Structure 1
Amino acid sequence: MSASTVYLKVNRVAADIVERARELTVADIHESMGAAGRAALMDARMHPLQQGVRIAGPAVTAYCWPGDNLMMHRALNLAQRGDVLVVVCRAELSGAQWGDLATRHALDKGLAGVVVQGCVRDVDQVRELGFPVWATHVWAMHPEKAGHGTVNAPVICEGVEVRPGDLVVADGDGVVVVPRADADRVVGAAQAKMRREDDVIAAMRRGQPMWDAIGAPASYAKLEVREVDGAFDDAPR
């Protein structure tokens, strides 16, 4: 029985939803998911190699054996324009999962970006090429290309379940994953949140204090806070 399984097809989140998601931030998406947003946000170790980049796209997944990135290459071979490759190697320091050659191929194919739980290397070249990469480690350790794993099956990447075809959104704040079935609703809610924040910005430009523009007085009033007209260390009167 084979220790590896590769699924050749992916049921991707709709292209129009991805297009809308490209205008949104990870924070907008995360907050718009409600309580589920906590489970959808990858851990803080996941960070971008480049500053000022934002991507959105359907997930193509790879799970790689320790010290080996063969299944990453199979997933990259199968990925399509606009996809986000999500790579997991539990033995994170055993060998780099991504580097210069993979970046060049991903650019040629038009991938949106890659998210790696594990090592990436050749980072100077990757940054120069401008391809969006998120990773948990940078290290030049050599990987083999002979190991088992899976492609386009569910993976757990930095604490988040990623199923092939799910919506992946990434920016300077990190990475969030929205289940494909929920993507249209979540993106719509995030767009509405963004419009509300635009209204707050407009109110502040008109001179309204942020405290009032965000509706803080009503919440503050419910707390029955005792306010003292004086400094903490003023002498007793």
Structure 2
Amino acid sequence: MFLTSEACLLETAVSKICNRRYMAGVVATAEACDSNAALLASGDLRVLQPVFQIYGQCRSFSGPVVTLKVFEDNVLVRELLETRGEGKVLVIDGGGSMRCALVGGNLGQLAHNNGWSGIVVNGCIRDVDEINGCGIGVRALGSHPLKSNKKGHGDKHVPVYIAGVYIAGSFIRDGEWLYADSDGILVSKSELSI
């Protein structure tokens, strides 16, 4: 696929914005692990298992966590993404389902427009090309073309268990901090200093 010069300029501008955000407040996950051995040992800093694919323009993102637990139903995903994100990261426990997508291109753009820093989906996304064009960071187990149910079932702001974090001693909770980059994803009980 060839990009027009306008599309290339837009892609470059989005990349610069993501990089500026990265430089301003995102902690490199490898550095965070190296410099926070005591937090790792205590379980106050946890590393998610490397099961997520990288999507979206922002390969690095961080922010306070907002949790959501749903299964093959994305009504509550939309409800949360319609609110002001203010640099937060939506962590969706979709039960690891690989049978439908919980986030698509429209929700990716909505998240970007409303100031969400990123989305982590323990499940699938769709409209990958559209999401890859959004100025947001997204992690998911994979992609699936089928949309989800629309029944509105699920729970907001509840502890969630994804990608082996429970093994490290705790669920992921609202208000914790998530850090994602090309090396992986960390969850911290409090904001890490740079």
1:169 matches 2:174: no
Contact 2:123 2:141 in 1 (8 A): yes
Q: Give the corresponding residue for 1:64.
A: 70
SS of the equivalent of 1:40 reads strand
> Could you tell which deviates more after superposition, 38-47 or 134-143?
38-47
Aligned-residue RMSD, C-alpha: 2.5
Q: TM-score, normalising length from structure 1?
A: 0.63
Instruction: Structure 1: give runs of 5+ residues left out of the alignment.
Output: 1-17, 192-237
Q: Percent identity?
A: 28
1:55 matches 2:61: yes
Structure ranking higher in helix proportion: 1
Which of 100, 112, 116 is the aligned partner of 1:111? Answer: 116
SS of the equivalent of 1:155 reads coil
1:155 & 1:80 partners in 2: Cα distance? 19
What do residues 99-130 of structure 1 show as CA deviations (whole Å, max 9, x unaligned)? 11101111111110111110011011111223
Q: Rg: which structure is higher?
A: 1
2:58 & 2:23 partners in 1: Cα distance? 18
Which of 20, 23, 27 is the aligned partner of 1:24? Answer: 27
2:181 & 2:46 partners in 1: Cα distance? 14
1:52 & 1:71 partners in 2: Cα distance? 24
Please show how residues 1-237 of structure 1 align to structure 2 within 5 Å. Answer: 22-31=25-34, 32=36, 33-36=39-42, 40-50=46-56, 53-65=59-71, 67-160=72-165, 161-180=171-190, 183=191, 187-188=192-193, 191=194
1:63 & 1:95 partners in 2: Cα distance? 15
Instruction: Structure 2: give runs of 5+ residues left out of the alignment.
Output: 1-20, 166-170
Runs of 4 or more off by more than 6 Å in structure 1?
Answer: 18-21
What do residues 171-205 of structure 1 show as CA deviations (whole Å, max 9, x unaligned)? 1112110013xx3xxx24xx4xxxxxxxxxxxxxx
